[in-house]
Structure 1
Amino acid sequence: MQLEKPRRSNRERSDTTRAAILDAARELFIAKGYADTATPDIVAAAGLTRGALYHHFEDKKALFRAVVEREAGQVAAAIELSDTGQGAPRDALLAGASAYFDAMAMPGRVRLLLLDGPAVLGVAEMAAIDAAHGGRTLQEGLAAAMPPGRIDENDLAATAVLLSAAFDRAALEIEAGAARAPYLHAIGRLIDGLIGQ
């Protein structure tokens, strides 16, 4: 007797289609860049139709934004997983820095998040994406590591933005071939200076 495969729900089919489009778009955006990637190439790579793409995404820019958001979410998840909750807040910040560098080492991620993302979506939109993901984690980590009253909320937010920029610059340098260890050490010194160690 042959067992029938359970039928997939519309939601499951929709999620599968969306993931296929995102995966194909990611690969093409990395290989060719945003400007040189056409939507017909994306649907061909995904094995779908243009109608399927436009059912899920308003246009190529919306698709690119979804790719970038997914990447940012994966980076944030890797950082959050690095916090075991066992060590001191400073140790959690350093573990998060290391996890960030690990996550950014995924091929194409630096291009998507640090180069093409700001160029295509703009700095303000990328800042909003960052704030919705890793920015919050970094600000919370800094707040936990600093002595009470050391810094007010506005200065804390600005400090987190600047430290995040240091992480990003280090990721760009590492991607270009620089050794990782000196950058991780330098980030540690920056964190120690900020929290008064």
Structure 2
Amino acid sequence: MARSNKERTEATRLALIEAARRLFVERGYAETATPDIVAEAGVTRGALYHHFEDKKALFRATLEREAEAVAGHIDKVSLPAGSPREALLLGASAYFDAMAAPGRTRLLLLEAPAVLGFEGAGAIDRENAAGTLKAGLAELLGPGAKAETLDALTDLLSAAFDRAAIAIEAGADREAYEGAIAGLLDGLVRA
């Protein structure tokens, strides 16, 4: 059965994103050229520019796909939790699992801010896992937590998770970081 135009269009877009991901992980954003991406994807240069304005737009789409995968894994794993603390700890563990995918830490935590800037990379995070983290913190702290405090704590804990993921990828003890996250959460409740 022949594929529809929509299916062919989506297959081409996905091939470009997957090829770009491989090259961005292997070479980095700056060293990846669009002719290499189209060759890797097995499509024409015209197909690339039909789907994406430029290399940066393709990079952003690649990052969005990665961030969606991380958020999806966190949501799936932290759903069965019995308490807000347990949900946050399961979510932290799920985040570290998801970030262990080869190249993901480099793409989301190192390349993204360098290419898109702090705000651009942060927007992708806010569109994905940050909302889950903020909701978990709101449950942990209860109805008395102020919105601006939740926003600040979400930013700070997100940065802590990111720093931990970078350290873990570099060989640090994951259990030590998971224990430190638990200590941070317990400290928030006590405060």
Taking structure 2 as the reference length, what is the TM-score of the superposition?
0.98
Q: Given the alignment, which residue of 133, 138, 155 partners 1:143?
A: 138
Unaligned runs of 5+ in 1: 1-5
Q: Given the alignment, which residue of 45, 51, 70 partners 2:40?
A: 45
* Amino acid in structure 2 at the alignment position of 1:115: L
SS of residue in 2 equivalent to 1:61: helix
Residue-pair matches, total: 191
SS of residue in 2 equivalent to 1:48: coil
Equivalent residue, structure 2, for 1:62: 57
How do 1:28-177 and structure 2 match up within 5 A? 28-149=23-144, 151-177=145-171
TM-superposed CA distance for 1:86, in Å, is 4.4
Unaligned runs of 5+ in 2: none
TM-superposed CA distance for 1:100, in Å, is 0.1
Q: Given the alignment, which residue of 169, 180, 185 partners 2:179?
A: 185
CA distance in 2, matches of 1:124, 1:196: 32
TM-superposed CA distance for 1:147, in Å, is 2.8
CA distance in 1, matches of 2:27, 2:125: 24
CA distance in 2, matches of 1:189, 1:32: 37
Q: 1:96/1:86 Cα in 2 relative to 1: closer, same or farther (>3 Å)?
A: closer
SS of residue in 1 equivalent to 2:128: helix
TM-superposed CA distance for 1:196, in Å, is 2.7
Equivalent residue, structure 2, for 1:3: none
Deviations 1:125-153 (CA, angstroms, capped at 9, x unpaired): 1111111100000000000111331x200
Aligned partners of 2:75 and 2:91 also within 8 Å = yes
CA distance in 1, matches of 2:8, 2:61: 18
Mean CA deviation greater in 164-173 or 83-92: 83-92
SS of residue in 2 equivalent to 1:122: helix
After superposing on structure 2, the runs of 4+ consecutive aligned residues of structure 1 that deviate more than 6 Å are: none
CA distance in 2, matches of 1:182, 1:16: 42
Taking structure 1 as the reference length, what is the TM-score of the superposition?
0.95
SS of residue in 1 equivalent to 2:127: helix
CA distance in 2, matches of 1:191, 1:82: 18
Aligned partners of 1:75 and 1:103 also within 8 Å = yes
